Amino acid sequence: MFYIKIGKKKRNLREDNIYTRCPICGREHAVDLQEILKGGDADLYGTSVYCPECSERQKASDNL
């Protein structure tokens, strides 16, 4: 298990309390850290995760 510390307070990282901002639309959305770590070369600071809508749009434009 991972947790973050803010001062002396610990906060468990759970699958439902990890958020990021979409690099395209800037919307805050929950991310599945397990999915990111599965990729193998995860960079927790540098990784950006598209929100569901933008990743759909991205997939659609890849298929053009």
User: Given CA atoms 38, 52, 45, 34 in this order, what sign does their dihedral have?
Assistant: negative
Of 9-17, 22-30, 32-40, 56-64, which segment contacts Zn ion by CB under 5 A?
Answer: 22-30
Determine if 31 is a binding residue for Zn ion (CB under 5 A): no
**What character string, x for contact with Zn ion (CB under 5 A) and - otherwise, covers 1-20?**
--------------------
User: How is residue 63 written in tokens?
Assistant: 């298929």
By CB under 5 A, tell whether 33 contacts Zn ion. no
DSSP type of residue 58: H
Residue 2's contacts (CB-CB under 8 Å, 6 or more residues apart) are 12, 13
Site residues for Zn ion per CB under 5 A: 22, 24-25, 51, 54
